[in-house]
A and B are shown apart, each in its own frame.
Chain A
């Protein structure tokens, strides 16, 4: 008896064919290797980055010959000695690290209540408003935002004009270290909120209700419930804000008035202003190393589990 076509439809046959082809290309005996195959694109990407780092490492060991503007053939640690001994580089590195730390702390302080309100508010209108206010800056690039601050905070800007109305003469609000930190905090705030919000969403609201019903006031609840359970978000947001601030170029360049350089500005100068690719490569590698060590330290102190990446939570 001829089998009914409806009993074994065409699309099943197609699927069977595809399965057979897949079986030929990747036999069942290889199934244990499937996760590694899925890793391949990521490995390739990381491989390209590592290859780039190796090239940069090679450049960092060569010095610039200013009679030919070619890199030296022989390897030397001269660039590293300069980077660690010259006052300009140590000043800029210190300013970048300290600035990133200050920006991270201030940003987290501002981002925490914002995230908490956004997650806990019963008003959907307020939540939407906070979300829009959060995402709007993402549509405006960093450079445009920095130029916006030039218009607002300049000597003839809106703030000084407002001060002028009450008889205060113009104040220099731009082109100094606080202006750079201010610009960075404003730029980093959305990143921190976006990292904190999921961690706060994961805290059951019932825990806070239970604490309250057991007599804990708002401060105790915050200290013993909300803050400890927000740790994964705080650590993640802190890492993102710190590393982005440490490597930022545009805000120090635009709001710093040329005298508040961060490491990225110094790297740019070496590559493009003095044509010294070796020194630029050295500073780049040192920046990667310092950033990686600090991230590693955070993982050691707080544990990778704080970022909900598995492992033991501490």
Chain B
């Protein structure tokens, strides 16, 4: 019997596929940190619902975390694109009424997630095995345990059209006050990302936040005279694309995505600094035990180096697992901080201070902008 015949006799197609599936599942399970015996695992739900932001955000999550989770566990992942602000009251109501919440996992800003944690609607995630491999950035500041796991950081950069700045990139947030930019700049409609640099640009100190933010309000009042457009993430890309604006304070991911789409755009961290913040994942209370288990496994998987690398390559953001490789276009970019020196130019304010004062800051910003 020749070797060839032996092989064809022993390794049939179905056997090969079964073996590959078993190896794949074992590898996936190992990646997930699922080292328990399968017999001990709770029943798998047909799907897990993860609330996510749309566009390139959900594409990156799917490519980096969801697809590999499904491959490893066989559990489908459905992405619910309800806005983070709109899912919040639904989850809060479900928990208050002791109903099963509408999602398994919320991909949320840390500030928003902290509100949910303070309200007591989040599950504790301290027992996730992969947490031990993460940096300090994954730990929510000012909260007991891990009601949220931060998964990456991001910077609110000053994005601009190079054609509108023929003398070189803007260096300061004060450059937005140039009369030629009147009606050509954009901010988030609640001012998020802009309050803290405005405090510095207005001549104030970060240590005075939240006690004295008058310098920020004075600077924002000057910006108001420039008639800025106010919008959400997708608006910035649209406005740049349609030539409505020349500069904006936005998350670097949006600027990078616009650039990928062929829009002439660049970004800087101005001399006053730029706000650095984090997003995270959390699980609402009220899930059945088995679904809670698998939701935790999803977040645990999101903390693996492999998942973080693909997910955050898509977003162009620094993760919480050491040793990630920055995307080629972001090496040395100030919006992708990796060293202590990088972080010196960024503004970080405690989540607790932000959560407690955010409503007042939003109201004050609106008062100025709507006046």
Task: List residues of chain A with CB under 8 Å of any chain B CB.
Answer: 64, 66-70, 86-88, 91-92, 95, 150, 154-156, 170, 172, 174-175, 257-261, 266, 269, 271-277
Contacts and interface: CB of A to CB of B under 8 A. Distances in A.
A87 B119 contact: no
B188 to A, nearest CB: 9
Interface in B203-252: 227-231, 242-244
A25 to B, nearest CB: 37
Contacts of B363: 86, 88, 274
B242 A154 contact: yes
Given A69-B119, A259-B369, A272 B89 contact: yes
A260 B370 CA distance: 6
10 contacts: A64-B359, A66-B359, A70-B119, A92-B370, A156-B242, A170-B243, A259-B227, A259-B370, A274-B363, A277-B89
Interface string B114-127: 01101110000000
Interface string B53-95: 0000000000000000000000000000001011011000000
Contact of A269 (B83, B89, B190): B190
A78 to B, nearest CB: 13
Nearest to B241: A156
Given A154-B242, A172-B183, 17 more contacts: A70-B119, A87-B371, A88-B363, A91-B371, A155-B242, A156-B243, A170-B243, A257-B231, A259-B228, A259-B370, A269-B190, A272-B83, A272-B86, A273-B362, A274-B358, A274-B362, A275-B89
A67 B114 CA distance: 10
A66 B88 contact: no
Contacts of B183: 172
Of the listed residues B85, B359, B366, the one surrounded by the most CB atoms of chain A closer than 10 A to its CB is B366
B356 interface: yes
Nearest to A276: B359
Contacts of B89: 271-272, 275, 277
Interface of B: 83, 85-86, 88-89, 115-116, 118-120, 183, 189-190, 227-231, 242-244, 355-359, 362-363, 366-367, 369-371
Contact of B369 (A70, A258, A274): A258
A70 to B, nearest CB: 6
A269 B366 contact: yes
B250 to A, nearest CB: 13
Nearest to A256: B230
Contact of A66 (B227, B228, B230, B355): B355
A257 B230 CA distance: 6
Nearest to B115: A69
Contacts of B85: 272-273
A88 B230 contact: no
A66 B356 contact: yes
A87 B242 CA distance: 34
A59 B228 CA distance: 34
Contacts of A64: 359
A155 B366 contact: no
B86 to A, nearest CB: 5
B82 to A, nearest CB: 11
Contacts of A170: 243
A275 B367 CA distance: 18
Contacts of A275: 88-89, 115, 359
Contacts of B356: 66-67
A254 B358 CA distance: 24
Nearest to A176: B227
Contacts of B189: 258
Nearest to A258: B230
Contacts of B231: 257-258
A271 B87 CA distance: 11
Nearest to B358: A274
A88 B86 contact: no
B118 A86 contact: no
Nearest to B84: A272
B362 A68 contact: no
B141 to A, nearest CB: 16
A91 B370 contact: yes
Contacts of B115: 69, 275
A269 B369 contact: no
B251 to A, nearest CB: 17
Contact of B359 (A67, A91, A274): A274
B364 to A, nearest CB: 8
Contacts of B230: 257-259
Given A87-B371, A259-B370, A269 B88 contact: no
Nearest to A257: B229
Nearest to B364: A88
**The 5 residue pairs across chains A and B that have the minimum distance between CB atoms:** A258-B230, A88-B367, A272-B85, A274-B359, A258-B189
A269 B362 contact: yes
B190 A273 contact: yes
A175 to B, nearest CB: 6
Contacts of A172: 183
A156 B371 CA distance: 28
A71 to B, nearest CB: 10
Given A88-B363, A258-B189, A272 B88 contact: yes
Nearest to A92: B370
Contacts of A86: 363, 367
Contacts of B367: 86-88, 91
Nearest to B117: A69
Nearest to B227: A259
Contacts of B244: 154-155, 174-175
A68 B243 contact: no
